[in-house]
Structures are given as C-alpha cells and as structure tokens.
C-alpha cells in the first residue's frame, strides 16, 4: 500500500507526520522529494517560443569542411 502526503519542513529540518494509515511497529520506507511547481515545469524548455533567425539561409553549410570540394 502506498500513502502520499504533502507537508513542509519545520524548524531545524524536522518533519512531523500524523494520522498515517500504518500500525505501530510496521516497517515503512520514507522517500522525500521536493515539490515541483508549475514554474519549475515551464523552465524545462527555455528556448521554446523564441524566434528563430537564419543568417544567410541559402549559403552552403560548412563548405570549407568538405574534403571532396578541395
């Protein structure tokens, strides 16, 4: 059974969990992850919606790099 709860870190880094659906002495695993916000998700693609500018779009690409041209 998985139980998920959101809480805040208290003074001195203490976390208090109350009313858990487990019995006293039962072994559990505690995994703590920071909560992500909508603004965190927006930063995944920082270049999204920025204009794309092509300088000399019809010029050859890396013309000096081709050994067959030399």
The pLDDT score that the predictor gives to residue 33 is 87
For residue 57, what are its two tokens?
A: 């779009």
pTM, entire model:
0.44
Any domain includes 44: no
Average pLDDT over residues 11-36: 90
Q: What is the mean pLDDT of residues 38-47?
A: 71
Tally of domains in the chain: 1
Instruction: Kindly state whether residue 17 falls inside one of the protein's structural domains.
Output: yes
Give 55 or 64, the one with higher predicted confidence. Answer: 55
Look up the domain containing 1 and give its range.
1-34
Residue 69 lies in a domain: no
**Region 60-67: what's the mean pLDDT?**
70
Q: Which candidate, 4, 8, 13, places its Cα nearest to that of 31?
A: 4
Would you say residue 50 lies in a domain? no
Considering only 4-18, 19-33, 45-59, which range has the smallest mean pLDDT? 45-59
For the segment 1-16, the average pLDDT, to the nearest whole number, is 89
């Amino acid at each position: 059974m998985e139980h998920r709860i959101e809480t805040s870190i208290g003074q001195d880094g203490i976390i208090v969990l109350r009313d858990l659906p487990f019995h006293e002495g039962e072994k559990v695993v505690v995994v703590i992850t920071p909560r992500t916000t909508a603004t965190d998700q927006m930063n995944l693609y920082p270049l999204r919606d920025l204009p794309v500018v092509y300088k000399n779009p019809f010029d050859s690409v890396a013309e000096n790099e081709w050994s067959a041209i030399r």
